[in-house]
């Protein structure tokens, strides 16, 4: 009898310990990997399972593996809906000069467009526009907000 209660107590203590230590390590994994946002918070969907946006590192317009995967899903979606046209919006975070951010947004939009085109989507169906830092999705001044704002968003036009 005592042995069972002891065992139960031991399990209780170990269990609570694990829960407590798990809480303290949540920051480590997080939603930002190497400066690129990897979370799902601001993401909308063109269709079920097709995220509408990809994210970038500071000052960069290169696509991550995750971004390419997302864009491939978008390409598949666009191939299925042949009459659909889109605009890709390029955005930058607020931590840069305004004019350069306009150019950077343009580069990011085109990086996504070029990738879609390599998957057979006609360039005529895709237009691009840059908003620089003018339309942040997260207005906070934090590293998380900035990573969520560095994005290329695919928007349905028709």
Partner 1 sequence: MTKSLIYSVLFHSVMILLTVLTLPFMIRQPIDLPPIVSVELIQISDKTNIPFAPKARKIIEETKKKEDRVVSEQAPPAAKAKEKPDRIPLPNEKKEKKQIVKKKQNPEEIKPEIRQSSEFEKKEIVDTNQIAALIDKAKEEEAVKQKKTNKLTQSSVKNSFATGLSLSEEDALRAQIFGCWSVPLGLPYDKNLLVRIKLKLKKDGSIMKSEILDHERMNKPGQNFYRVLAESALRAVRICQPLKVPPTGYDKWKEIQLNFNPSEMLKG
Partner 2 sequence: MKKIFKILTLYHLIFINPVLALIEVDITRGNLDPLPIAVSPLHVDIKSQEHEGLKVKELGTSISEIIEKNFKGTGLFNPLKKEAFVQKPDIAHIKPRFEDWRLIKAQALVTGKLLVKDEKLKVEFRLWDLTASKEITALAFTTTPSNWRRVAHIISDKIYERLTGENGYFDTRIIYVAESGPKNQRIKKLAIMDQDGAKTKYLTLGTELVLTPRFNPTNQMVTYLSYFRNMPRVYLLDIETGMQEVVGNFPGMTFAPRFSPDGKKIIMSFAEDGNSDIYTMDLETRVVERITNHSSIDTSPSFSPDGKFIVFNSDRSGLQQIYVMRSDGSNVKRITFGSGIYGTPVWSPRGDLIAFTKVRKGRFYIGVMRIDGTGERLLTENFYQEAPSWSPNGRVLVFYRETKSGKKGEGFSAKLWSIDITGYNERRLETKTDASDPSWSSLLSK
Q: Show contacts with partner 1 in window 24-53 (CB under 8 A).
A: 24-25
By the rule CB under 8 A, 4 interacts with partner 1: no
By the rule CB under 8 A, 142 interacts with partner 1: no
By the rule CB under 8 A, 135 interacts with partner 2: yes
Contact 36, 56 (CB under 8 A): yes
Q: Which two tokens stand for residue 25?
A: 């390590």
Please state the closest distance from residue 3 (CB atom) to partner 1, in A: 11
9 or 97: whose CB is closer to partner 2? 97
Please state the closest distance from residue 113 (CB atom) to partner 2, in A: 8
By the rule CB under 8 A, 17 interacts with partner 1: yes
- Site of tokens 């209660």: 5
Q: Using H for helix, E for strand and C for coil, what is the string for the chain?
A: CHHHHHHHHHHHHHHHHHHHHHHHCHHHHCCEECCEECCCCCCCEEECCEECEEECCCCCCCCCHHHHHHHHHHHHHHHHCCCCCEEEEEECCCCCCHHHHHHHHHHHHHHHHHHHHHCCCCHHHEEEEEEECCCCCCCCCCHHHHHHHCEEEEEECC
Q: Show contacts with partner 2 in window 1-40 (CB under 8 A).
A: none
By the rule CB under 8 A, 11 interacts with partner 1: no
25 or 48: whose CB is closer to partner 1? 25
Q: Give the count of residues interacting with partner 2 (CB under 8 A).
A: 31
The separation between CA 23 and the C-alpha centre of its own chain, rounded to angstroms, equals 24
Segment contacting partner 1 (CB under 8 A): 15-23, 56-64, 89-97, 119-127?
15-23
Which of 8, 100, 118, 122 is in the footprint of partner 2 by CB under 8 A?
A: 100
Q: Which residues bind partner 2 (CB under 8 A)?
A: 59, 61, 94-100, 102-104, 106-107, 109-111, 113-114, 128-130, 134-142
């Amino acid at each position: 009898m005592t042995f069972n209660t002891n065992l139960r107590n031991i399990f209780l203590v170990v269990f609570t310990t694990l829960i407590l230590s798990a809480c303290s390590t949540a920051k480590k994994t997080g939603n930002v990997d190497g400066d690129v946002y990897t979370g799902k918070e601001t993401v909308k969907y063109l269709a079920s399972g097709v995220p509408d946006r990809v994210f970038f590192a500071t000052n960069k317009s290169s696509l991550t593996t995750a971004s390419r995967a997302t864009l491939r899903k978008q390409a598949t979606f666009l191939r299925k809906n042949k009459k659909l046209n889109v605009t890709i919006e390029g955005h930058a975070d607020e931590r840069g000069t305004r004019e350069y951010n306009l150019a950077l947004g343009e580069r990011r939009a085109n990086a996504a467009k070029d990738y879609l085109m390599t998957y057979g989507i006609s360039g005529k169906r895709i237009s691009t526009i840059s908003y620089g830092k003018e339309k942040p999705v997260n207005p906070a001044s934090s590293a998380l907000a900035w990573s969520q704002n560095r994005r290329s968003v695919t928007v349905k036009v028709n």
